[in-house]
Amino acid sequence: MRVLMIGDVVGRAGRRAVKDCLPSLKVELGINFVIANGENAAGGNGITKTVANELFSYGVDMLTMGNHVWNKKEIYEYLPKESRIIRPANYPPGAPGNGYNIYTVNKGVRIAVINLVGRVFMPEVDCPFRKADQLIEEIGDRADLILVDFHAEATSEKVAMGWYLDGRVTALVGTHTHVQTADERILPGGTAYITDLGMTGPRNSVIGVRTDIILRKFKTGLPQRFEVANTDYQFNAVVISIDEYTLRATDIMRVFNFE
Ligand code: FE2
């Protein structure tokens, strides 16, 4: 079976990329389950029910989030009611929503998806490494395989998490930097790994934001109001192939499409 994991969907261009690319990719690549990082899907900041439903209507099965999860007020009430969206599990206790969920796909295969957020160059949260240990144990045999979206800034933290979880999860992918890395591989313990999936969003931008605004910020050092660019899109993802019998990852392949 094959799982498609789509890199951070940013704004309108990102949603258009999903609409244009996903249906045909699903058929061409024989995809059974689609995960997308949706934390920047609503105007580049957070997610709303309307935007999530739009992505589901294009064929996304579930959404992971990240450090921008709380940006839209409605999420506090909406998250606990929507099992197709998870938020980073290592927010301190009391945060709304779930940090992982289990989905049944393709003739009864139970896929647990865990979302974690990093701590290097990012806001304070609980330890993602210890949280991963705790959740893997908690999930136990309630799932046949585990996929992890580790939403983190530093490549080192993501590489470290890859080694830490190697052999214990089927795939660990990084998100958040909006730049796809070329280090996809199957680690020695059998875990499919990539440091960052990249961005599904406006291609002619600085990681999603209008180029002129970011250049002004760099040149003057003055605070700027960020605005998501609305340009031609790029579509970034990986396809993870999983053996039907052993339920181990056999291959990880990058997807980088653009219009
Ligand atoms: Fe992020």
Report all structural domains of the chain as residue ranges with CATH numbers, in order of start.
2-258 (3.60.21.10)
Quote the ligand 1 centre to 161 CA distance (angstroms).
17
- What is the Å distance from ligand 1's center to 82 Cα? 20
Q: What is the pLDDT of residue 97?
A: 97
Structural element, H or E, at residue 56: helix 49-57
Phi, psi (deg, nearest 5) at residue 99? -90, -10
pLDDT tens digits for 183-227?
Answer: 999 999 999 999 999 999 999 999 999 999 999 999 999 999 999
Is the pTM higher than 0.95? yes
For 223-258, what is each residue's pLDDT tens digit?
Answer: 999 999 999 999 999 999 999 889 899 999 999 999
C-alpha 32 – ligand 1 centre gap (Å): 26
Distance CA 166, CA 94 (A): 30
| Ligand 1 ion: residues within 5 Å (CB) | 66-67, 176
Residues 6+ apart with CB under 8 A from 114: 86, 89, 99, 100, 132, 135, 139, 146, 147, 148, 149, 169
CA of 125 to the centre of ligand 1 (A): 14
Catalytic residues: 68
